[in-house]
Amino acid sequence: MNSARESVDIYLSCCNLARMDLMSKSDPFAKLYESNTSSSSGGVDKFTFLGNTETIQNNHNPVFKTKFSVHYYFECVQKFYIEIYDDDGGNKSELIGKTREFSLSQAVCSRDGKLKLDLVLKSGKVQDMKVVLFKCKGIGLDKKDFFGKSDCYFFFEKEVAGRRVKLYTSEVIYKNLNPSWTSFKLNLDEFNNDYNKDIFVTCYDKDKYSKDDLIGEFKYNLDQVLNNNVKQFHLIEPSLQKKKKNYKNSGVFEKENRQDQFLDHIMGGCNISVSVGIDFTASNGGFTSSSSLHYLSSKKNHYQQALAQVLQILEPYDSDKIYGGKYLTFNTFTNYSKAYGYGEILEAYEKAVPRLSFGDMGSATNPKTGKPYRGDDFYRVIEHVVERTPPVTQQQQFYNILLLIIDGDAFDMQGTIDSIIEANDKPISIVIVGIGGRSFPSCRKFDADDEPLIHSNGTKMTRDIVQFVSFSECSDLTQLASEVLAEIPKQMVTYFESKEIIPNPRPQSAFY
Q: What is the pLDDT of residues 346-384, one digit of tens each?
A: 887 888 787 766 655 444 455 556 655 554 567 778 888
Q: What is the pLDDT of residues 100-113, one digit of tens each?
A: 888 887 776 665 66
Candidate from 106-110, 177-181, 252-256 with smallest mean pLDDT = 106-110
Mean pLDDT for 45-52 is 89
Between CA 294 and CA 307 the distance in angstroms is 13
Long-range (24+ apart) CB contacts under 8 A made by 381-389 are: 381/275, 381/277, 381/326, 381/328, 382/419, 382/420, 382/423, 382/430, 383/419, 384/275, 384/326, 384/333, 385/275, 385/423, 385/428, 386/422, 386/423, 386/426, 386/428, 389/426, 389/427, 389/428
Same-domain status, 235 and 299: no
Between CA 450 and CA 9 the distance in angstroms is 46
Contacts of 227 (CB under 8 A, 6+ apart): none
Same-domain status, 227 and 313: no
Candidate from 9-18, 168-177, 260-269, 464-473 with smallest mean pLDDT = 260-269
pLDDT at 442 over 50: yes
Mean pLDDT for 85-102 is 86
Residue 12: predicted pLDDT: 94
Residue 54 in domain: yes
Q: Which residues of 270-290 are buried (b: 16+ CB within 10 A; e: fewer)?
A: bebbbbbbbbbbebbbebeee
At residue 257, the 3 state secondary structure works out as coil
Residue 2 in domain: no
Q: Do 493 and 260 touch, CB atoms closer than 8 A?
A: yes
- CA distances 275 to 17, 304, 403, 433, Å, are 43, 15, 6, 14
Residue 322: predicted pLDDT: 60
Q: Do 325 and 348 touch, CB atoms closer than 8 A?
A: yes
Residue 510 in domain: no
Write the DSSP symbol of residue 282. Answer: G
**What is the pairing mode between strands 398-406 and 428-434?**
parallel
Q: Do 119 and 100 touch, CB atoms closer than 8 A?
A: no
Same-domain status, 22 and 71: yes
Residue 506 in domain: no
Looking at 127, 148, 167, the residue that finishes a domain is 127
Element (H, E) at 66: none
Same-domain status, 431 and 367: yes
**What is the pairing mode between strands 126-127 and 213-221?**
unpaired
Residue 492 in domain: yes
Same-domain status, 221 and 350: no
CATH of the domain at 234: 2.60.40.150
At residue 432, the 3 state secondary structure works out as strand
Residue 389 in domain: yes
Mean pLDDT for 179-207 is 81
Which residue would you say has higher pLDDT here, 482 or 439? 439
Q: How confident is the model at residue 237 (pLDDT cuts 50, 70, 90)?
A: very high
Residue 123: predicted pLDDT: 47
Select, from the ranges 54-58, 112-116, 492-496, the one with the highest average predicted confidence (pLDDT). Answer: 54-58
Phi, psi of 379 (to 5 degrees): -50, -50
Same-domain status, 215 and 344: no
Q: What is the pLDDT of residues 279-306, one digit of tens each?
A: 877 777 777 778 888 888 888 888 888 8
Q: Do 428 and 388 touch, CB atoms closer than 8 A?
A: no
Residue 119 in domain: yes
**What is the pairing mode between strands 119-121 and 198-205?**
unpaired
Element (H, E) at 63: none
Residue 173: predicted pLDDT: 94
Give the residue from 62, 64, 51 showing the smallest Cα distance to 26.
62
Between CA 277 and CA 382 the distance in angstroms is 9
Q: How confident is the model at residue 76 (pLDDT cuts 50, 70, 90)?
A: low
Q: The domain containing residue 242 runs over which residues?
A: 131-255
- At 126, the amino acid letter reads V
Residue 361: predicted pLDDT: 45
pLDDT at 63 over 50: yes
Q: How confident is the model at residue 475 (pLDDT cuts 50, 70, 90)?
A: low
Number of domains composing the chain: 3
Residue 219: predicted pLDDT: 92
Between CA 432 and CA 470 the distance in angstroms is 8
Averaged pLDDT of the chain: 78
**Total-model pTM:** 0.50
Q: What is the pLDDT of residues 389-404, one digit of tens each?
A: 888 988 889 899 998 8
Q: How confident is the model at residue 156 (pLDDT cuts 50, 70, 90)?
A: very high
Q: What is the pLDDT of residues 181-190, one digit of tens each?
A: 987 877 666 7
Looking at 127, 143, 172, the residue that finishes a domain is 127
Torsion angle, alpha carbons of 372, 373, 379, 381, to 10: 110
Residue 206: predicted pLDDT: 92
CATH of the domain at 307: 3.40.50.410
Other Cβ atoms closer than 10 A to 8: 15
Same-domain status, 303 and 368: yes
Same-domain status, 164 and 221: yes
Same-domain status, 247 and 286: no
Quote the Cα angle for 408-412-414, to 5°.
130
pLDDT at 330 over 60: no
Which residue would you say has higher pLDDT here, 264 or 60? 60
Phi, psi of 351 (to 5 degrees): -75, -30
Residue 256: predicted pLDDT: 65
Same-domain status, 267 and 374: yes
Same-domain status, 143 and 247: yes
Mean pLDDT for 87-103 is 85
Give me the DSSP letters along 94-107.
EEEEEEPPEEHHHH
Same-domain status, 230 and 268: no
Percentage of residues of the chain with pLDDT beyond 70: 75
Mean pLDDT for 251-258 is 77
- CA distances 316 to 255, 290, 438, 477, Å, are 33, 34, 32, 18
Percentage of residues of the chain with pLDDT beyond 90: 21
Residue 309 in domain: yes
Long-range (24+ apart) CB contacts under 8 A made by 167-174 are: 167/199, 168/134, 170/136, 171/464, 171/490, 172/206, 174/452, 174/460
Looking at 97, 127, 157, the residue that finishes a domain is 127
Which residue would you say has higher pLDDT here, 186 or 261? 186
